[in-house]
Amino acid sequence: MNRWIKNWQPLLAALLVSGCSLSGPQSTLDADGPVARLQYETFLVTFWVSVAIFAVVGGMFLYALVKFRAPGGEVSRDYPLPDQGHGNPLLEIGVIFVSILLIGIVAVPTVYGVLYAGTLPEGQKALRINVTGYQWWWKFEYPELGVVTGNEAAIPVGRPVEFHVQTADVLHSFWIPRLGGKMDLTPGQDDWIWLQADKPGNYWGQCTEFCGESHAFMRMRVQAFEPEEFDKWVAGQKAVAVNTQAPAAFNKFQCGVCHTVRGVPGAAGLVGPDLTHVGSRSSIAAGIKDMTAGNLKEWIHNPNDLKPGNTMYKAGYKAMFEPMHIEMTGADEDQLVEYLMSLK
Amino acid sequence: MHIEPVKEKGFYDFLGRQVEPKGLIGWLTTVDHKRIGILYAVTALLWFLVGGIEALAIRSQLAVANQRLYSAETYNQLFTMHGTTMIFLVVMPLAAGFFNYMVPLMIGARDVAFPRLNAFSYWMFLFGSLLINASWLFNAAPNGSWVGYPPLSLFQYSQGHNYDFWLIGLQVLGVASVAASLNFITTIINMRAPGMTMMRLPVFVWMTFVTNFLVVLAFPVVTIALAELMFDRTYATNFFNPMKGGLPIWWQHLFWVFGHPEVYILILPPMGIVSEVLPVFARRPLFGYPLVVGSGMAIGFMGFTVWAHHMFASGMGNIANAAFALTTMTIAVPTGVKIINWVGTLWKGQIRMRTPMLFALGFIYQFMMGGFSGLMHANAAHDSQQHDTYFIVAHFHYVLIGGALFGLWAGIYYWFPKITGRMLNEGRGHAAFWFLFIGFNTTFFPMHWLGLNGMPRRIYSYSHAQGWDELNFLCTCGAFTMAVAVLLLFTDMFWFSLRNGEKAGNDPWDARTLEWTIPSPPPVYNFEEIPQVKALDDFWITKHPELMHHHDDEASHEAGAGHGAGHVHHDDHGIHMPGGSWMPMVASLGFAIGGWGLVHSGGMYHIKEGIQSALDAATKAGINWDTLVNTAQTVVNTKAPDAQNILSVTSAEGVLKLQACYNGVKTAIVGGVLGVLGVFLWALEPIGGYYIVKEKEDRISE
């Protein structure tokens, strides 16, 4: 027995750890904002009601299996019959009554939670961010602040943020689990949710409505800053690019047709993410890789490896005709990586 | 016993329905509900293997982070076809197999109401399932999940035939389901044996009845949605195209108005099976029979009031979210009543741990777990966190495998002796159960945690940083454990026990209902004499006459239910049996060919719009269509510059695609004509059939 435990200890430990460790970067159980917290609390109500029912009904079930098992698991046909009762109306009425009562216990916090998440809090004015989903990246616009960014948004700590979601193509769903539940991006609907972060940090999110080939690679990050840090961030983002001298490769491959780099002539495309301050972001390719020179080079080298079917690959690398056709040398790649990293 | 064919006269005699057909032709032309039931079940089990292999492929891809076993596109096809297969090609037809085989036996009938329509349903199902899976051969398997939400499913975003296969395949399958449902509703209302009042029907028959009403009411809704999406894709209509004012959200409402009742279509028949198995193996009557039946009806009815709980994140607003949360919670009441009544059946019983019972008990536990996670989804506030995550995946596998499939497997173990005359092996059955039970819970229980830890569904890959590695690996281990169980079940069922199993006899389980009063396997005419039913669980009461209540007897005098009440007597003409017919298969083959054509006409008007300028130029230059197609062929094949003066490569490809669409339309017309011709000839068929006449000596010896 001891030996058995010894051999399997690492696996058991791994299971135990994985079973208990539910604080991944997208954990709904680690609520870091009022919306997520309230939703989690309503979840706990349903959870404990379920546990209570399970304890009673499951207990009866288990008791019946042990207590009323036929001797030896099987009896012959002429063995004396057990009780042949057909039911008990009082018990049935009781079950119906009790379950309605339990549903009431779950229903009240549910309705409260729906209304809480679906109503903007009064008092502090919410910051508005317009989110647009593309196959497969996110655009964040701050209409009141004049900031546009891609795949990474920043929000101030302690202030409600009103995310208005819309889509440029198919359905997507906007979800930052540690801050709160999700909202689908449906064409023709102006849907919104409000979220709020309690403390500074990186909050990961991901598209949760199936949106085609690279659905799995449509992630995002929301950074929460203290208010004064946030103001600094806004000022930085509003400025034109720190380096407006785009290298030859940037022009050669017509990056500006799809991407905007404010300050660079001709770089005003709206199809791809705004790159004006791409160097200041912590991730690339819609949150799937950390922002490092190596990762960026890998991404530029063949975008289809990291994100199959993406527009940059299909319209650029696969384009049959000059000048859209992209075929980079190592030198081109290094030049572009260096430039993009410099766009802090 | 001897056979006398019905003498037919007339011109259409050459179509004459087969007289007791034998061999392969017998199976192809059969109208016998038992054979059709076997065909349904075997076909469904084969698709179960396909769907299971797809599941293993999915789990292998997700076993570790950053895996690239195959492409993202393949993954999307695999999970879409896994869902579509398991729902439409496995659970529904496997249940239909039991409806077919068991319902006539359980109500004391010789066949279903419309035997040829029954055959037609099966062939439509078979050809529909082949049509939808033929997409694999074209590397165009459906790839947009089993819900197929537009705009992704519109031609603008999915130009292959993937969705066309899905749309047409599901419509063909829908015809099969609705035809079968009308048949079973009629059968259960009209064909019951004398004395078999509605409140004496076995619960499985009741659940069949409710399920088939759900099919009849829910499938037309999805058929409309599918047809509209098909029109959007093929004829460039704009039902769901937001660019032209269409409403993608409208699809979601239509789909889920069907989709939610659909999950009850999947779960109610297994609930019926469990309600049959528990009393037999607890040696007690079902606790609260009227409430089990009534709650089944309540679940079916309420199933139509909750569809939008699949759309809590779609921006319906607070009031709608709260309202649908409340309607969803109320479904817990009839479901809870059922579970309590099952536990009540076990209470004070003598529980016999045979394999069907193990599966039924596994059903109760796992369905209860699925019910709890369902209650957690009904909490709309937190559902916005759970929606489209692995928490949902865990939930619906608990109800669809842990519930539906365990229930169906209880049914297979329970009725296999009746169908084949041989028992399945108990030892292997127990082993299979425990492999399946442990494997299932290892696969799907951790998914609750994965979902709460933020893992969305339908993702091809994930990274280490997201923290889902260990649990995903555990899930994959569980999936392969389940595969062992399936292997055990299949080898036992199709090989060992089928050949060498212990002989079953009429009533191997000491059971309670009419199907156990006749030989195993049953003769073609089922009942030599139509039984006279005196009580609920009639066969049990016959075996234990002391349990007969006085009021049961009275009721049977008053009832006179079912056709032929009161005139059960020896018939000197013998038993009339319908002959076989080719027409159901011919008609459904025609419709399936038509569907095949429609698939290939997918995108027709969009393609035409795309090359309209090239077409106009060709018309101006006086080039006719055939020449244009030839030129396009040359351009695509040779890329010759002089040919490209007339057509660019892109336009040439468009022309060829359009030509393929036109060919598709031609095929569709041919198939449609064949289908209608099949139905027409079907209508002209003579009554045919034959009589099974009992010899005088047999009569005397009785």
pLDDT value for B548? 81
Pairing of strands A180-185, A127-134: unpaired
pLDDT at B678 over 50: yes
pLDDT value for B639? 79
For an interface test with B, which of A90, A103, A173, A311 has the most B Cβ atoms less than 10 Å from its Cβ? A103
Domains of chain A are: 27-70+83-119 (1.10.287.90), 127-238 (2.60.40.420), 248-342 (2.60.40.420)
Pull the structure tokens for residue B476.
Answer: 């994959």
What CA dihedral angle connects A278, A281, A282 and A283, to 10 degrees? Answer: -50
pLDDT in tens, A159-174: 999 999 999 999 999 9
Q: Residue B681: which of B608, B598, B586 has the closest Cα?
A: B586
pLDDT value for B25? 85
pLDDT in tens, B466-523: 999 999 999 999 999 999 999 999 999 999 999 999 999 999 999 999 999 999 999 9
For an interface test with B, which of A41, A75, A135, A182 has the most B Cβ atoms less than 10 Å from its Cβ? A182
The whole-angstrom separation of Cα B6 and Cα B24 is 23
Q: Which residues of B touch A55 (CB under 8 A)?
A: none
Task: Check if the beta carbon of residue B229 is closer than 8 Å to that of residue B239.
Answer: yes
**Residue type (1 letter), B601:** S
Question: Residue B118, by phi and psi: left (phi above 0), alpha (psi -120 to 50) or beta?
Answer: alpha
pLDDT higher for B80 or A320? B80
pLDDT at B701 over 60: no
pLDDT range class, residue A8, cuts 50, 70, 90: low
Distance from CA of A150 to the nearest CA of B (A): 21
pLDDT higher for A335 or A3? A335
Distance from CA of A336 to the nearest CA of B (A): 26
A173, β-bridge pairs? A184
pLDDT in tens, B230-260: 999 999 999 999 999 999 999 999 999 999 9
The tally of CA atoms less than 13 A away on the side-chain side of residue B14 is 1
pLDDT value for A21? 62
pLDDT range class, residue B642, cuts 50, 70, 90: confident
Q: Residue B39: which of B112, B132, B123 has the closest Cα?
A: B123
Distance from CA of A261 to the nearest CA of B (A): 28
CA distances from A51 to A185, B452, B647 (A): 35, 17, 69
| Whole-number CA gyration radius for chain B | 27
Q: Residue B3: which of B695, B568, B699, B527 has the closest Cα?
A: B695
Q: Which helix (H) or strand (E) holds A132?
A: strand A127-134
Compare CB distances from A118 to B157, B242, B318 and report the shortest one's residue. B318
Residue in chain B nearest A22 by alpha carbon? B453
Helix (H, G, I), strand (E, B) or coil at B137: helix
Which of B388-397, B552-561, B574-583, B610-619 ranks highest by mean pLDDT?
B388-397
Mean of all residue pLDDT scores within chain A: 90
Q: Residue B392: which of B458, B461, B469 has the closest Cα?
A: B458
ipTM rounded to 2 decimals: 0.92
Q: Residue B313: which of B394, B389, B225, B226 has the closest Cα?
A: B389
**From the candidate CATH numbers 2.60.40.3080, 3.40.190.10, 3.40.640.10, 1.20.210.10, the one assigned to the domain spanning B17-554:** 1.20.210.10
Instruction: Tell me whether residues B449 and A22 touch, CB distance under 8 A.
Output: yes
Residues 6+ apart with CB under 8 A from A13: none
> Helix B406-420 crosses helix B92-106 at what angle (to 10 degrees)?
50
Q: Which residues of A touch B313 (CB under 8 A)?
A: 173, 181-184, 208-209
State whether residue A99 sits within 8 Å of chain B by CB: yes
**For residue B460, which phi and psi values (nearest 5 degrees)?**
-75, -35
**Range name among A278-282, B183-187, B567-571 with the lowest pLDDT average:** B567-571
pLDDT value for B566? 42
The tally of CA atoms less than 13 A away on the side-chain side of residue B441 is 11
pLDDT range class, residue B559, cuts 50, 70, 90: very low
Instruction: Tell me whether residues A84 and B368 touch, CB distance under 8 A.
Output: no
pLDDT value for A1? 44
Compare CB distances from B350 to A22, A70, A184 and report the shortest one's residue. A70
pLDDT range class, residue B558, cuts 50, 70, 90: very low
Domain residue spans in chain B?
17-554, 583-693
Compare CB distances from A50 to B72, B73, B375 and report the shortest one's residue. B375
Task: Check if the beta carbon of residue A252 is closer than 8 Å to that of residue A322.
Answer: no
Q: Residue B369: which of B468, B444, B266 has the closest Cα?
A: B444
pLDDT higher for B550 or B501? B501
pLDDT value for A316? 85
pLDDT value for B562? 44
pLDDT range class, residue A328, cuts 50, 70, 90: confident
Distance from CA of B611 to the nearest CA of A (A): 19
pLDDT value for B503? 94
Number of neighbouring beta carbons within 10 Å of residue A276: 26
Pull the structure tokens for residue B220.
Answer: 């037309």
pLDDT range class, residue B431, cuts 50, 70, 90: very high
Mean of all residue pLDDT scores within chain B: 91
Pull the structure tokens for residue A242.
Answer: 């720190």
pTM of the complete model: 0.93
**Residue type (1 letter), B322:** A
Instruction: Tell me whether residues B313 and A87 touch, CB distance under 8 A.
Output: no
For an interface test with B, which of A103, A210, A302 has the most B Cβ atoms less than 10 Å from its Cβ? A210
Q: Provide mean pLDDT across the span A67-91.
A: 90
Residue with tokens 């309705």: A111
Which of A5-19, B546-560, B676-690 ranks highest by mean pLDDT?
B676-690
pLDDT value for A13? 56
How many Cβ pairs closer than 8 A exist between chain A and B? 319
Residues 6+ apart with CB under 8 A from B141: B77, B78, B80, B81, B133, B135, B162, B165
pLDDT value for A11? 53
The whole-angstrom separation of Cα A66 and Cα A79 is 19
Instruction: Tell me whether residues B71 and A308 touch, CB distance under 8 A.
Output: yes
Task: Check if the beta carbon of residue B215 is closer than 8 Å to that of residue B259.
Answer: no
Residues 6+ apart with CB under 8 A from B678: B583, B584, B586, B587, B588, B589, B590
Question: Residue B602, by phi and psi: left (phi above 0), alpha (psi -120 to 50) or beta?
Answer: beta
pLDDT in tens, A289-306: 999 999 999 999 999 999
Compare CB distances from A64 to B145, B248, B346 and report the shortest one's residue. B346
Q: Which helix (H) or strand (E) holds A141?
A: strand A137-142
End-to-end Cα, chain B, rounded Å = 14
Q: Provide mean pLDDT across the span A186-202.
A: 94
Pairing of strands A219-225, A152-156: parallel
Asked whether the CA dihedral B244, B249, B252, B258 is positive or negative, the reply is negative
State whether residue A292 sits within 8 Å of chain B by CB: no
pLDDT range class, residue B16, cuts 50, 70, 90: low
Q: Which residues of B touch A115 (CB under 8 A)?
A: 318, 322
Pairing of strands A127-134, A161-167: parallel
pLDDT value for B297? 96
Q: Which residues of B touch A186 (CB under 8 A)?
A: 248-249, 314-315
Task: Check if the beta carbon of residue B688 is closer than 8 Å to that of residue B16.
Answer: yes
B495, β-bridge pairs? none
Helix (H, G, I), strand (E, B) or coil at B691: strand
Q: Cα A219 to chain center, whole Å?
A: 7
**Range name among B179-188, B517-526, B689-698 with the lowest pLDDT average:** B689-698
